[in-house]
Structure 1
Amino acid sequence: MPDLPDITPFRRRLDELDAQMADPNLFTDPRRAATVSRDQQRMARLVGNYDQVLRLREQIAEARALLRDPQSDPDLRELAEMELPENEEKVAELEREVLIGMIPPEPTDSRNTLLEIRAGAGGDEAALFAGELFRAYSRFADTQGWNVQPMSSSDAERGGMKEVIALITGDEVYRQLKFESGVHRVQRVPVTEANGRIHTSTVTVAVMPEAEEVDVHIDPQELEISVSRASGPGGQGVNTTDSAVQILHKPTGMIVQCADERSQIKNKARAMTVLRARLLKLKEEEERAKYAAQRRGQIGTGDRSERIRTYNFPQSRVTDHRIGLTLHSLPQVMEGEFEPLVNALLQEDMALKLAALSDAGPTPAWKTS
């Protein structure tokens, strides 16, 4: 049986949460009360499972001692022999649940998400695939009951999209989409290819949790905001008013543009939402890079320069290069059936976190901010 990390910090945390739940003042802030209640239930479940593991281990040890003793009562030996496999299976399952419960939840997992898709190498073909990939993610969002709100987009002349930014709202959006960041490669015969040759194109995807004011501090003095006439489709009103907004964040050089709305105020608000999300993503990537050096492995950095997946149309094949998963169901994936990919990535992430927790010893980072 594996040694479990020390439960003491978790018991201490449960005592703190119990005390907070007993304070009537807590419920004057419903949002805070919901968070504390959720944490208290999670911690109580963890401590309860740990205590059950200890009881089952004692029962297993007694059963094994009974079976080794030739002088023991035959009826008791028969009962111990029957119960031992069931208890061993049950304790193994509970030990895994305890380890999973000790993994600190990522606070951004429950956040709404900014999805950015940009055509990369491949010209018209890359733009076409960018549009198809956005459609596939939108269909996946529909199956999850999420809402997709386009924030900014730029159509390509021959179809598809040069880039698109959308806000996806719903339950645990970032948790399920966070591993989609990176380079998505497509291999297929373009419609314009007369000789039937397979071309390779790329699309870059960035997935960012929606940032809150407390996550990222933006000094207004560090922003350069300019407005201009919106261009492209959208009607006469869009093209005759200074509604398009561009924001330059001077310290990082990040530029965000938004022109989809007729209102300059709405475009500025949307641009600030995107900027905050990008800055939070940058902050997370810097922290992840430091942490990655200490980890035995990781699914990916979340960097949009990392090639993560190939969509091979001639062979109807999708391959995720980070976990070596290949699916021969490309048409279904392009219709929004991302569940097999998403679930496999989440399982791999969980396995890596469990391995890291086992290596970490008795001092887990259990307390959430």
Structure 2
Amino acid sequence: MKKTSLLKKLEVSKKEFLETSKSIIQPNIISDQKKYRILLKKYITLKKIVSLYEEYKKKLTLLKEVDFILENDSDTEMKELATTEKYKILENLSSIEKKSYNLLSSSKEESETEDDRKSVIVELRSGTGGDEACLFVEDILRMYTMYFKKSGWKYKIIHAQKGGIKGYKEIILDLNGEKGVYGNLKYESGVHRVQRIPKTESQGRVHTSAITVAVLPKVKDIEVNINLSDIKKDTFRSSGSGGQHVNKTESAVRLTHIPSKITVECQEERSQHKNFEKAISVLRSRIYQNEKEKRSRKISIKRKSLVSTGDRSIKIRTYNYPKNRVTDHRIHKSIYNLSEFMNGNIQEMINLLKLFENK
């Protein structure tokens, strides 16, 4: 990082620190523990950056003085001392630059949206392609669950609707992890297209099918307040596994949020109460995402390229089996190792998407 570029970044951090210092002592912030903790964490990081910034400026001033001596002083002994001093200053500057870079990166991570650190609801649905699309939902489900395992995240199936022959028409997962779950998976929302020869194809023709993926940040009831009078609740018999129990008990739950017309089903639990709780969690996330997408549309007017808007109608990726290739259309990047990609090795693509968006 060039010194001028670093100085500009440090100057911006100093201004941000001064603004944060004023905000953190406001009564409305102090009374809101959640906001106060977020601001306090930001304040502590920025204070460290500002301290390095002041030290950095002092060292740059000393460097100018030493350079002046080396250029203008004729005393040999003085020049030797100045040379030694310059070496120490340059070492100090290098050390400060590294520390500053690390803190600025840390500050950037902390300034990422709170959503990025949240656990998520993942929804996979078959689109065009009939049975082949249902099979591809199952393939993508396997790809993600292998990725979750590599990342140390845990998931539960909330709702599953089987396909006609094999696979799934729809499957919804509740995914939890210590950090960065939504920050990584938000790039997966959209239409995933597959090009391959179906097992049922007798003439060896390549078919194109598509599925949709939606990644929704999980939100708490304090973030999205749902009025129960706005919810229509229906119960029905589960069509999933569970033996005789599912045929006798109306444990499955369907919730419809009347204002937004969003509908959620959950039937994986034997208890109607547990299904209701899980359905409410999904409903809350979908309502939150709806509002988030409205805001994103407004932002995208100003910003030409947003790779993580969560728009489920945009074709984001093609999985071409005959050519062993996966292509992300948002960044025009292809990886020629589809088999590894389908085994959950998708982090490389996610990292590239992060870099693209940060630009």
* Residue 80 of structure 2: aligned partner: 75
Secondary structure at the aligned position of 2:219 is classed as coil
Distance 2:89 2:325 in 1: 46
CA contact (8 A) 1:244 1:267 kept: yes
Structure 1 residue 50: Cα displacement: 3.0
Distance 2:354 2:337 in 1: 20
1: CA distance between counterparts of 2:283 and 2:222? 14
Q: Partner of 1:294 in structure 2?
A: 302
Q: Which residue of 2 aligns with 1:159?
A: 166
In the other structure, the counterpart of 1:117 is: 124
- Asked whether the 8 Å contact 2:126–2:170 carries over to 1, the reply is yes
Task: Please identify, of 57-66 and 229-238, the stretch whose mean Cα deviation from structure 2 is larger.
Answer: 57-66
Aligned to 1:236: 244
8 Å CA contact 1:117–1:206 kept in 2: the answer is yes
Question: Cα deviation per residue 1:118-147 (whole Å; 9 max; x = unaligned)?
Answer: 111111111111111111111111111111
Cα pair distance change 1:59/1:182, threshold 3 Å: farther
2:266 corresponds in structure 1 to 258
**8 Å CA contact 1:204, 1:304 repeated in 2:** yes
Q: Secondary structure at the match of 1:278?
A: helix
Gaps of 5+ in 2: none
Q: Aligned partner of 2:197: which letter?
A: V
How far apart, CA to CA, are the structure 2 residues paired with 1:329 and 1:245? 41
RMSD of aligned alpha carbons? 3.2
**Partners in 1 of 2:71 and 2:195 — Cα distance?**
63
1:311 to 319, 325, 342: 319
Distance 1:326 1:89, change over 3 A: farther
Q: Is the 8 A contact 1:18 1:40 kept in 2?
A: no
Q: Which moved more, 1:332-341 or 1:3-12?
A: 3-12
Counterpart Cα distance in 2 of 1:35 and 1:67:
48
Residue 284 of structure 1: aligned partner: 292
Query: Matched residues in 2 for 1:155 and 1:67: separation?
Result: 79
Indicate conservation of the 8 Å contact 2:14/2:46, yes or no: no
Question: TM-score, normalization: structure 1?
Answer: 0.82
- Shift in alpha-carbon separation, 1:55–1:286, aligned structure 2, 3 A: farther
C-alpha distance in structure 2 between counterparts of 1:11 and 1:54, whole Å: 18
Q: Name the aligned partner's letter for residue 53 of structure 2.
A: Y
What TM-score, normalized by structure 2, do the two folds share?
0.84
Bigger CA drift: 294-303 or 122-131? Answer: 294-303
- In structure 1, C-alpha distance between the alignment counterparts of 2:235 and 2:283, rounded to whole Å: 16
Gaps of 5+ in 1: 353-369
User: Is residue 344 of structure 1 aligned with residue 344 of structure 2?
Assistant: no
Query: Contact 2:157 / 2:171 at 8 angstroms: preserved in 1?
Result: yes
State whether residues 190 and 214 of structure 2, in contact with CA within 8 Å, keep that contact through their aligned partners in structure 1: yes
Cα offsets for 1:15-71 (capped at 9, x unmatched): 876999xx9x99xx9x99976774454334333343344344434544554565475
Post-superposition offset of 1:292: 2.4
Instruction: Name the SS for the 2:170 alignment partner.
Output: strand
Residue 61 of structure 2 corresponds to which residue in structure 1?
58
- Higher mean displacement: 129-138 or 194-203: 194-203
More helix by share: 2
Does the residue aligned with 2:302 lie in a helix, a strand or coil? coil
Q: Does 1:45 align with 2:59?
A: no
Task: Please give the alpha-carbon distance, in whole angstroms, between the structure 1 residues aligned to 2:101 and 2:85.
Answer: 24
- 123, 146, 152: which one aligns with 2:153: 146
Instruction: List structure 1 segments (4+ residues) > 6 angstroms apart after TM superposition.
Output: 15-20, 31-34
Partner of 2:194 in structure 1?
Answer: 186
Find the aligned partners of 2:296 and 2:85 in 1 and give their Cα distance: 49
Name the structure 2 match of 1:330. 338
How many correspondences in the alignment?
Answer: 345
Letter in 1 for 2:51: G
1:231: how far off? 2.0
